[in-house]
Amino acid sequence: MNIARPVAARAHVGHSRPRPDADAKVRGTAPYVDDLPFEGLHGATIRTPIARGRVTGLRFGDLSDLGADWSEFAVVTAQDIPRRSAKDGVDPNLVALIERDQPFLVRDAFEHMHEPVALIAHPSLEVVRAAAERVEVVVEALPARLDFRTAGEDAVFKTITVRRDAGEDADAFAAELAACAVRVEGVYETQAQEQCYIEPNGMIARVVCDPDDLPSPERPSVPTWPSKPFRVEVEGSLQCPYYVHKALCSLFALPEDGVRVAATLAGGGFGGKEDYPSILAGHAGLLALKTRRPVKMIYDRAEDMVATTKRHPSQSRIVTGHDADGRLRCVQIDCRMDGGAYVTLTPVVLSRGVIHAVGPYEVPHVRITAQAVHTNTPPHGAFRGFGAPQTVFAFERHMDRVATELGLDPAELRRRNLVVRGGTLAVSQTIEEPIALEAWLDEALDAFDWRGRRARAEAFNHEAQVSGVARRRGVGLATFMHGAGFTGSGEDYLASKVKVRATAEGQLEICTAQTEIGQGSIAVFSQIAADTMGLQLADVAVARPDTDQVPNSGPTVASRTSMVVGHLVARASEDLLGRLERAGLLGEADARPEGEALGEDVVVGERPSAMVQGRGWSYRPEALRRALAAAAASGDAEIAEGWAQYERPPGGAWDDTVYKGVAYGTYAWANYLAEVEVDGLTGEVKVLDFLASQEIGRVLNPLLAHGQIEGGVVQAIGWALLEDCVWKDGHLTNGNMTNYVVPTAADVPPIQVRFQESPYAYGPWGAKGIGELPMDGPAPALLNAIAHATGIDLCALPASPERIVAAQLAAEEAR
């Protein structure tokens, strides 16, 4: 029976509902992993002292001045881990990710500095930390490869090529390029970046095993691996519970129900807690297994910075060929990214970089070759943007250099090349959605008074030059897009599932594996479910991500939480509504009478998406609550649970072998503008003003969407102007917040955030992902503004005062 009229409505979506988790976080009462009540041992990690070599031994130094003795410690090395898994025959010491090449603990050869060799545990945190520094890792040094740019082809472990039209053939492409009226070349470099989440990595592990496997007075020491079935449970700060789950099942050769992974509140992630927590969970789990006691491992800032992942450094060589009016005819890009010592997530980062490398422009002939290279540094990993900021920087900086070459306004050059609906991106993806990139560009330019500002900056500079003042102003632009969700067929492989369930209190509980890492997922999921069902926000709760309780809805990455998983939340809520109706728990008597007010800010007639019927607000809220409570009381999951699993939207597919097709179901499109002032004496750059304009489908929560964009812009200002990882012999020498310089509030300009909404049919109420988008545009916009201000044509990040002054001196020399 389906009595409900299609009344789709929204009372919460589109409104700035506060985050349910905000109050405790703002007050400082929210418990993070290190705040949880804990009784057990504290673990510490012993690491390699150089970039490459073999471990030949461990020397345990004297602890008498600490009042301690090594007999009080548990020590775990790779020797505690079997060489072949009883489960799948592979070496369980290798972390289960894309490739299995990274060890939890070094057995012999090692590939980077600060690689874990041994783990120690002790009841006192202070003692274990001091003792860890008394362990010497004895090594034989081997030559290390430290510069990804000059590394030979033998260091390349992943190559991706994109070919379009004449780009399929090298000679044909060369001929096309030679025929272009204008050719411009450039080399662009970007540096590593540290995520600098507020809360460092931390994990607690517990082992549940048979009493026979526990130590006793008669048998004080037990083998590391229990003889009977056991369970490993971890909780900690992480983005992807099921990644950690997979890694632990493999390490401990346990079935899926032998491992439980629960997320604690996370003090930020930014990608830095995508893959690394698997290693830390493995370490804590190994110590817990060896000791049969709970073990907590919390990194301090220094250890977190030197040992965990950063953004991939990159180098892009770009050659473009244009018609005399600036229209792009040919693009050739040769891109390299530094993967560090192990494969980890690099192939996917490279892939996203490649797909975003030519931006939102229509180019007939394309030839891209991208390589990932091994070096002896800690593996580079996920960081907001995931490869796109690197290639977007290169191409958008290049576009300004083309405009200078042609004597064209940089905005006009972009306008002439923007892809239109029915047009095709570099990866041969035809844009089917309604887009209006030219109108969106003009809207942003007008809002920033692009022409007026450029003219005023030029007048200011003229005046300054005449009066001998060293300050110069400039205005810059970047035009770009960001695809949301996993690339290509990635979402098909993930096949994410979401469950919602009725509770005895008459509430709806949303069960996903998504972790709240500051982006507002709890608030947004609640808004989506409440509007789909017709509930108030107070009637909706979000379950803790815990692999014992929630289905695998995929990782909290790739701008996929609101768009992909949020859509599943809507569909699962819809599914439950249908079950309640079919069970007779909702009927005619419960229908909201025709014409009854839906509430002050309820908008009638908008559907959540093409895949959701949108019958929310068909029933009275009190009837829904009663039905939910009754469903829960029935104890029948068929009535009390709603489910949804990912289904690929209709349309073309992605072909991974030739890198052609629908790379992403949709893109967010953006224009970012910046005005800067450069102090010619010191090379310091002050960002005077910033505008971030983007089309994001539908704004689910304006306050949170603004926050996402502003935060991303600030993080990208840091990458563009301040942050630099200083490496020496494979060691990060500025691994602290004193010398790794992130922006403070004083470095942040006014940021004007503007949204356009062109709903995406397969996102909740049309929403697209926005988490990564704001990381892509600021760096090229700022360096373009610096070039406008000073004529200094910087092509490498960061645009540090040192680089600017060096460029001034080089220019003086050349004169």
Partner 1 sequence: MSGMISQLQASRPTDLDAALALLAEAGDPWRPLAGGTDLLVEAQHGRLQHRRFLDLSGLQGSLGGLRWHADGTLEVGALCTYLQLQRDARVQAEYPALCAMARLVGAAQIQARGTLAGNIENASPAADVAPVLLALGARVRLQSAARGVREVALDDYWTGYRQTVRGQDELIVAVLVPPQPFGPHAQWSRKVGTRSWQAITKVGIAARIGWAEGRIVEARIVAVSMAATPCRVAAIEQALLGCSGEEPDLAARIATAQQSALRPLDDVRSTAAYRATVFGRLVLQAVCETKGAAGDAGKGGSAA
CB of 122 to partner 1, least distance (A): 12
Task: Give the total residue count for the chain.
Answer: 815
Q: Tell me if 800 contacts partner 1 by CB under 8 A.
A: yes
Interacting residue with partner 1 among 138, 604, 809, 811 (CB under 8 A): 809
From 264, 734, 758, 790, residue interacting with partner 1 (rule: CB under 8 A): 734
CB of 805 to partner 1, least distance (A): 5
> Of 189, 442, 684, 793, which lies in the binding site for partner 1, with binding defined by CB under 8 A?
684
**Binding to partner 1 (CB under 8 A): which residues in 657-676?**
none
Q: Are 156 and 334 in contact (CB under 8 A)?
A: no
Question: In angstroms, what is the minimal distance from the CB of 177 to partner 1?
Answer: 38
Q: Which is nearer to partner 1, 28 or 422 (CB)?
A: 28
Q: What is the Cα–Cα distance from 348 to 262, expressed in whole angstroms?
A: 26
**How many CB atoms neighbour CB 26 within 10 A?**
10
- From residue 602, alpha-carbon distances to 480, 522, 533, 634 in Å are 34, 21, 13, 32
Q: CA-to-CA distance for 314 and 618, rounded, in angstroms?
A: 53
- Of the pair 21, 710, the CB lying nearest partner 1 is at 710
Residue number with CB closer to partner 1 (244 or 783): 783
CA dihedral 220, 221, 227, 230 (to 10 degrees): 80
Cα 6–chain centre separation = 37
Residues 6+ apart with CB under 8 A from 438: 415, 418, 420
Dihedral over alpha carbons 305, 306, 310, 315 (to 10 degrees)? 140
Question: How many amino acids of this chain bind partner 1 (CB under 8 A)?
Answer: 32
Residue 43 CB, nearest distance to partner 1 (Å)?
A: 17
Please tell me whether residue 126 binds partner 1 under the rule CB under 8 A.
yes
Tell me which stretch binds partner 1 (CB under 8 A): 122-130, 202-210, 248-256, 559-567.
Answer: 122-130
Give me the least distance between CB of 227 and partner 1, in Å please. 38
When binding is defined by CB under 8 A, the residue of 66, 90, 109, 459 that contacts partner 1 is 66
| Residue 730 touching partner 1 (CB under 8 A) | no
Task: Write down the least CB distance from residue 468 to partner 1, Å.
Answer: 9
Is 741 a binder of partner 1 (CB under 8 A)?
A: yes
* Cβ–Cβ under 8 Å, residues 17 and 701: yes
**Separation CA 76–CA 54 (nearest Å):** 18
Closest CA to 22 of 568, 745, 707, 507: 707
Of these, 65, 153, 154, 171, which contacts partner 1 (CB under 8 A)? 65
In one letter, which amino acid is 567?
H
Q: Which parts of 267-306 interact with partner 1 (CB under 8 A)? A: 302
Among 214, 726, 729, 811, binds partner 1 (CB under 8 A): 726
Where do the H-state alpha helices sit in 191-266? 241-251
Our finding on whether 178 is near partner 1 (CB under 8 A) is no
Q: How far apart, in whole angstroms, are the C-alpha atoms of residue 561 and residue 579?
A: 25
810 near partner 1, judged by CB under 8 A: no
Q: Does 455 bind partner 1 (CB under 8 A)?
A: no
Write the CB contacts of 157 (distance below 8 Å, at least 6 apart in sequence). Answer: 339, 343, 346, 372, 373, 374
369 vs 333: CA distance, rounded Å: 6
Of the candidate spans 16-24, 451-459, 609-617, 679-687, the one that interacts with partner 1 by CB under 8 A turns out to be 679-687
Of 9, 106, 127, 699, the residue at the interface with partner 1 (CB under 8 A) is 127
Please state, in angstroms and rounded to a whole number, the distance separating the CA atoms of residues 332 and 3: 59
Query: Of the ranges 245-253, 399-407, 629-637, 801-809, which one interacts with partner 1 (CB under 8 A)?
Result: 801-809
CB of 128 or CB of 522, closer to partner 1: 128
Residue 15 touches partner 1, criterion: CB under 8 A: no
What is the spatial distance between Cα 415 and Cα 411, in angstroms, rounded to a whole number?
Answer: 6
Q: By C-beta, is 386 or 727 nearer to partner 1? A: 727
287 contacts 119 by C-beta, under 8 angstroms? yes
Q: What's the sign of the alpha-carbon dihedral 432, 434, 438, 442?
A: negative
Q: How far apart are CA 164 and CA 16, in angstroms?
A: 44
Q: Which of 15, 54, 107, 134 binds partner 1 (CB under 8 A)?
A: 134
Q: Which residues bind partner 1 (CB under 8 A)?
A: 65-66, 126-127, 130, 133-134, 302, 681-684, 686, 722, 726, 733-734, 736, 738-739, 741-744, 746-747, 800-802, 805-806, 809
